[in-house]
Structure 1
Amino acid sequence: MARKIDQSLFPETQKRQDNQEHCPECGSALLIRHSKRGPFKACSSYPACDFSKAMTNNDGHVVKELGLPCPECGDELVLRQGRYGMFIGCSAYPVCQHIEKRESQPQEAKSAIACPECGTGTLTERKSRYGKTFYACDAYPKCKFAVNQTPVQGACEACGFGLLVEKKSANGNYKQCASRKCQHRQTEVEPEV
C-alpha cells in the first residue's frame, strides 16, 4: 500500500505557494531551480518557454573604495570581488562599465646563451602558470626546447651536447648535461693558480 507524502514538509513548496511569481514572457509560474552556479528562477512551462533569472548577483561586490576618480565618468573607482577574481571598476556600474586594465607582465629576461636545439633562438627566463621559473627558446613554437634548471654555457664531456645546467645537491652545486638522453654529471676541473 503506497503512502502519500505530506508536501507541506518541504519548505520549497510553501515558498512557491506563498510568493508565486509569474514569468514575464508567458505568464506561467516561476519555480526555484538549482545549478552549479547557484539558485535561479525558471519558467514552469519549460521547454516551451525558456525564461530564467539568477537569484544571486555576480556583478562583483565592493571590497574597498579606492578614492580615485574613474577616467570615463568621474565617479569613484572601487575594488570588487567578481566571479573570476578581484578587479578594479567604476562604482557607477552598470551605467559606467569602466574596468582598469591589469599592469603588463614584467619583461622576460633574455640570456646570451644560444638555444642548443635550433641554434637560431636564445634561452629566455619564463614563469609557469604555477610561478616556477624555467628557461625556454624564444623561437617558440618552432623550437620547443626548455629546461627547468639554470642554463650554463658549455659542452657535455660525454655526448658533446652544447648546453649544461646547474644542479644543486646536499654535496654542493655541480653541472649536468642538458640533454634528456644523456644527463651526464660533469667533472669539475680546478683552475690552475
Structure 2
Amino acid sequence: MSASDKSLFTHHEHALDKVDQLCPDCGAKLAIKHGKSGAFLGCTQYPSCQFTRAVVEHERVEAKILPGSECPLCGHELAVKQGRYGMFIGCSNYPECHHIEHETQEVIQNVVCPSCKSGSLQEKTSRFGKKFYSCDAYPKCKFVVNHEPSEGVCEKCQFPLLLKRNMAAGVKYQCADKKCSHMQKSN
C-alpha cells in the first residue's frame, strides 16, 4: 500500500493500526467494517460476538461555565456544552433545569405562510448547516421550503409565494408550489 493510500485512513490516529487489535470480549481480531452509519471496527467472530467500536474516537468536551451569565429559569450560570448535534449553551443546573439557549430566528419580512395563512416564514439552519425556511407556527403548520421565499404570485397557477433562485442567467423566481415549480423572471 502506498503512502498516499495510507493517508486516506488517517484522522486522529492511524486507522490501520487499530485493525491488529484484539476483541476485548472474545480475543479474536478486529476488522474495519462498513455499515449504514459509516466505517467501524467489528469483531471477526460476528455473529457469535457482536463487539463494535468507532474507528475514530470523538473527543468529549467538558462543559465550560460562562462567567456573568444567568439562566432565566433558575438563576444558575449558563455553560457551553457538547450534545448529540454539536455544541450548545444550556443551564449548568441540568438535570434539575432543562433551559437551552436558542438562536433568534430571522423572520422574512412581509412573507406570510401560504399553507396556514397566519404564520410568517423564518430562516433556520439544519443540523448539517443548510439554510431552510419554515412557518413560525410549527408544529401546527409544517410548511417548509429550501430556497429564499419572496412575496409574489405565480403567473401560471396563482400560488401566493415565489422562491428566489440565483441561476446562471441571473435571478429568477420559482413557484413555491411543488406541483407547479414554474420559473418566471420577476415577481
TM-score, length of structure 1 as denominator length: 0.47
Q: Which has the higher contact order (CA 8 A, sep 6+)?
A: 2
TM-score, length of structure 2 as denominator length: 0.49
Larger radius of gyration: 1
